[in-house]
């Protein structure tokens, strides 16, 4: 089972969620509306996300869906 780590920095209004350990070689891509996807630079695997200008009860969380798991094997 994946361990999810959530960090909230109220003074910066920043919410960070990692479902994989942070990497030294990670890259970030803004997806729009202040949502940033964090990926491993080597593999391109998504490892986390950040929400900029976050405040409790932020409506953007209703629109985010993250699925963590292994892809189904091909037959």
Identify whether the C-beta of residue 60 lies closer than 8 Å to the C-beta of residue 34.
yes
- What's the pLDDT tens digit per position in 28-68? 999 998 999 999 999 999 999 999 998 888 887 776 565 55
21: its two tokens: 């350990």
* pTM for the predicted model, two decimal places: 0.74
Q: Report pLDDT for 59.
A: 80
Nearest Cα to 22, choosing from 48, 51, 50?
Answer: 48
């Amino acid at each position: 089972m994946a361990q999810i780590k959530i960090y909230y920095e109220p003074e910066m209004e920043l919410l960070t969620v990692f479902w994989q350990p942070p990497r030294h070689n990670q890259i970030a891509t803004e997806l729009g509306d202040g949502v940033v996807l964090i990926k491993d630079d080597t593999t391109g695997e998504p490892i986390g996300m950040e929400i900029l200008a976050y405040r409790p009860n932020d409506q953007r969380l209703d629109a985010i869906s993250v699925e963590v798991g292994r892809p189904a094997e091909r037959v």
